Structure 1
Amino acid sequence: MPVTVLLVDDEPLVRAGLRAVLAAQPDIEVVGEAADGAAVIPLVRELRPDVVAMDVRMPLLDGIEATRAVLRTVQDPPKILVITTFENDEYVYEALRAGADGFLLKRARPAEIVHAVRLVAEGESLLFPAAVRQLAGEYGAERGNPQARAALDKAALTEREAEVLRLMARGLSNAEIASGLVVGTETVKSHVSSVLAKLGARDRTQAVIAAYESGFVAPG
């Protein structure tokens, strides 16, 4: 089954470019388009895409609020890939905090766009981990979040789970974590799943944000 994608951007040229790149792939199908976040929920319910590629800045309903709305109201929601011009942008960070699974730069090369959609659909890894780490360190650590700290304390992570979370926050993949800890990849996957479950995190991105906002991991 191909990965199905809904494109949401107020610039027709951006949508056309993304459609051309993604439609050329045998394992990806673009099932719809929208010019604003306000149209996302009915289209998601009708088309049931695996991934929504959504601009972070739109005139009526931006990508942040659209992400919140989808995750709040849609059962079994799709993965959300935020499209942005600048990676070091507080709007992007707020979209990730709202539940977006990753972000994609508008200037990305075609191969990077395809890789981003596949990666988000699989839900296995962070996109642009260094950039996510920078965003979390800059915007998350400075504001602090008592709720994140309380949630982390309540999670009662084991010593190994805490170690895995620190490595996740550094942007390491499952394979890189496994190599560093000298364990199997399946063991790491099990630890990651347990960390996400205990933190109530939707994905690795949310877990990394929680790690920084709680002060569990310090920027730099």
Structure 2
Amino acid sequence: MIRVLLADDDPLVRAGLRLMLGAAEDTTVVAEASDGAEVSALVDRHGPDLVLMDIRMPLMDGIEATRVLRARAEPPEIIMLTTLATDGYVLRALQAGAGGFLLKHTQPQDLVAALRKAASGEPVFSPDALRQLVDTVAVSPDEVRPAPGATGARRAPGPGGQDVHDARELLGRLGAREREVSLAVAEGKTNAQIAAEMYLSIPTVKAHVSHILAKLELNNRVQTALLVYRAGLI
């Protein structure tokens, strides 16, 4: 059972999400927050596996709430909700440690499928939204630089905020196999797909991904993908 916390300041949006998730046998909504400032305490109280987080909320937005959660030793997975794939806040949310984002008009069956994927540690995007995201990273690096004073469990060097040389220098920390895996991650491939293509076991792929995140000082696969795109390797 995937335990979900909903964070959105619109009660109608929360009600709709609750109904959609309640129809699935393997998801349950354990708590709801109307603002990012409420999220941390609710995570303490209910221990969700995943947080569906609205980006724009009045007191504490979803980006700052994501940073707070990512500073924990064992944070839940965090998926951002937005109305527009081109929302400039999306990039900052991913830098803060979110594992992907979904549009609020996502179809119920697609939403549940995305949450199952996210709960297993895979990033979730719509293909069109990811393409727009990559285009933004390519042409507007200043848009995605880390906010001044941002803190978290790890320092995220800001994939997309470096120039091509800096991004490639960071990727130079990786071994040959890790570099291959990072490219596959940037192409959106799952651990199972990478394992099949490289004739590796899934646990070995997971270990490579963990080493990549540690060496690059990143929070998740999404940030790895952004860094690879920024380096011009995809």
TM-score by length of 2: 0.80
What CA deviation, in whole Å up to 9, does each residue of 1:26-49 have, x standing for no partner?
A: 221111111111111111111111
Query: Alignment partner for residue 157 of structure 1, among 141, 158, 174?
Result: 174
Moved more, 129-138 or 166-175: 129-138
CA distance in 1, matches of 2:66, 2:133: 18
The equivalent residue for 1:27 is 26
Distance 1:133 1:160, change over 3 A: farther
Query: Alignment partner for residue 128 of structure 1, among 115, 119, 125?
Result: 125
Structure 1 unmatched runs, 5+ = none
The equivalent residue for 2:12 is 13
Structure 2 unmatched runs, 5+ = 142-160
CA drift of 1:136 comes to 4.0
What CA deviation, in whole Å up to 9, does each residue of 1:113-171 have, x standing for no partner?
A: 11121111111x22127434642452366423277666544xx2111211221221122
The equivalent residue for 2:187 is 170
CA distance in 2, matches of 1:76, 1:32: 18
SS in 2 for 1:172: coil
The equivalent residue for 1:85 is 83
Cα RMSD between the aligned structures? 2.4
SS in 1 for 2:215: helix
The equivalent residue for 1:198 is 215
8 A contact 1:164–1:177 mirrored in 2: yes
SS in 1 for 2:48: coil
SS in 2 for 1:127: coil
CA distance in 2, matches of 1:188, 1:173: 10
CA drift of 1:183 comes to 4.6
Superposition pairs for residues 33-182 of structure 1, below 5 Å?
33-72=32-71, 74-123=72-121, 125-128=122-125, 130=127, 131-132=129-130, 134-139=132-137, 142-143=140-141, 144-145=161-162, 151-153=170-172, 156-182=173-199
CA distance in 2, matches of 1:129, 1:50: 22
What CA deviation, in whole Å up to 9, does each residue of 1:86-118 have, x standing for no partner?
A: 112221111010001111110100011111211
CA distance in 2, matches of 1:35, 1:203: 26
Moved more, 144-153 or 18-27: 144-153
In percent, how many aligned pairs have the same letter?
Answer: 47
What is the aligned length?
A: 212
SS in 2 for 1:7: strand
SS in 2 for 1:165: helix
